[in-house]
């Protein structure tokens, strides 16, 4: 029973190794462009979430009178 698991694990890792060879890795300029795009979009989304949070805080504190 132990030999069957070893054989199955070995086969699995051979398949994974074969799939990794199919991957087309980005070159450095593409990687930098995509990295800066992710940072930019994340900053924008973070700003939107922070703005909504401040608006809700204002509503709760001033309109509802809850501190």
pLDDT in tens, 7-45: 777 888 899 999 999 999 999 999 999 999 999 999 999
pTM over 0.95: no
- How many domains does the chain contain in total? 1
- Mean pLDDT across the stretch 51-58? 95
- CA 38 from centre of chain: 9
Is residue 45 one of the residues assigned to a domain? yes
Is residue 66 one of the residues assigned to a domain? yes
Is residue 9 one of the residues assigned to a domain? no
Owning domain of residue 32: 25-67
Is residue 15 one of the residues assigned to a domain? no
Q: How far apart are CA 33 and CA 24, in angstroms?
A: 16
Is residue 2 one of the residues assigned to a domain? no
Q: How far apart are CA 9 and CA 15, in angstroms?
A: 10
Q: How far apart are CA 49 and CA 28, in angstroms?
A: 31
Is residue 42 one of the residues assigned to a domain? yes
Q: In this predicted structure, what is the pLDDT of residue 6?
A: 65
């Amino acid at each position: 029973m132990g030999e069957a698991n070893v054989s199955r694990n070995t086969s699995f890792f051979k398949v994974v190794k074969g799939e990794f060879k199919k991957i087309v890795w980005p070159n450095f300029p593409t990687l930098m462009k995509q990295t800066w795009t992710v940072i930019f979009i994340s900053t924008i989304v973070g700003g939107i979430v922070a703005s909504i949070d401040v608006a809700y805080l204002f509503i709760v504190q001033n309109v509802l009178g809850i501190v």
